[in-house]
Amino acid sequence: MKRDPENPTYDHTLDTLCSESGYRFQREKYGPKLAFMKEYFGERFPEIALLDVGVGYGVFLKIAAEDFGLRNLRGMDPYPNSIEIAKSMAPARIEQGSLLDEKWPFEERAFDAITCFDVLEHLEKPDAFFVNAKRYLRGGGVILVSTPNKGLPYRMRSIPLVGFPDTNPTHVNVQPPSYWKNAAARNGYEIVASWRGEYLTHIRLVPKILKALCAALRIDPRTAPLVNAFEQAFVMVIRPNQEE
């Protein structure tokens, strides 16, 4: 059971992530984000330079390489043991560093895409990411972030027999989508796209019923009003305002 005991933000084990069901979920989780980038960049997509901030154990970078053919992959994480695990998983250059650092271990304007998944909710002051990331993005590039979708279903997690409690004590800044949209705007970004995705596992039974109904009716639960409130994550694609 491989796990970085020094990383309190990441409570998974590599065995869990790479099990048949675990890896299937990870592909469902990251696939739509990579598919968006593939459409956004078009023919350029296989050659884009991508930086993943907060790599965890490198599963996203592995899927980006193996399922989507990306070759120019970089990563950054503050935890040395997590970096070593990630390097064993993905063909990417991964450096030690914190997104809170003013100087990142890469050249400025070096990336077409910067991703930051399930990280910002661990920061009391996440604006530092938006400020710092802008310096490492090339013109025409985009930043993709995802964070827990704090709607009514998320709040129901604490109800006995209804929800699965959030046991991660480092989730200090779980917010609704409006909070992240405002954070992007005040730091000089425009929103290219946003959606709710990664079907909710925080509540018992209801999400499975809704998912089955959506499948039967051929409805995308990410875009269906009310239904998408049950989606696990909020995903936002942003880029610097063109006038800046």
| Overall average pLDDT of the 183-195 stretch | 96
Q: How many CB atoms lie within 10 A of CB 167?
A: 8
Strands (E), 86-203: 93-96, 111-117, 137-148, 189-199
Per-residue pLDDT tens over the stretch 129-147? 999 999 999 999 999 999 9
Give CA separation, 167 vs 17, 173, 207, in Å: 18, 14, 20
Per-residue pLDDT tens over the stretch 140-178? 999 999 999 888 777 877 788 777 777 788 999 999 999
Does 6 fall in a domain?
no
Burial status of residue 113 (CB atoms within 10 A of its CB: 0-12, 13-18, 19 or more): buried
Residue 228's pLDDT band, with cuts at 50, 70 and 90, is: confident
Does 4 fall in a domain?
no
Q: Which residue has the higher pLDDT, 134 or 222?
A: 134
**For residue 65, how far is the Cα from the chain centroid?**
16
Does 5 fall in a domain?
no
Does 193 fall in a domain?
yes
Domains contained in the chain, number: 1
Residue 192's pLDDT band, with cuts at 50, 70 and 90, is: very high
Phi-psi domain of 189 (left: phi exceeds 0; alpha: psi -120 through 50; beta: other): beta
Q: What span, in angstroms and rounded, lies between the C-alpha atoms of 149 and 169?
A: 17
Does 199 fall in a domain?
yes
Does 220 fall in a domain?
yes
What is the rounded radius of gyration, in angstroms, for the C-alpha atoms of the chain? 17
Q: Which CATH number do you get for residue 135? A: 3.40.50.150
Domain containing 235: what range? 14-240
The first and second tokens of residue 58, run together, are 């490198």
Question: Is the pTM here over 0.95, yes or no?
Answer: no
Residue 199's pLDDT band, with cuts at 50, 70 and 90, is: low
Residue keyed to tokens 């039967």: 216
Does 24 fall in a domain?
yes
Straight-line distance from the first to the last Cα atom of the chain, in angstroms, rounded to the nearest whole number: 48
Contact (Cβ atoms closer than 8 angstroms) between residue 23 and residue 30: no
Mean pLDDT is lowest, of 67-71, 111-115, 162-166, 175-179, for 162-166
Does 2 fall in a domain?
no
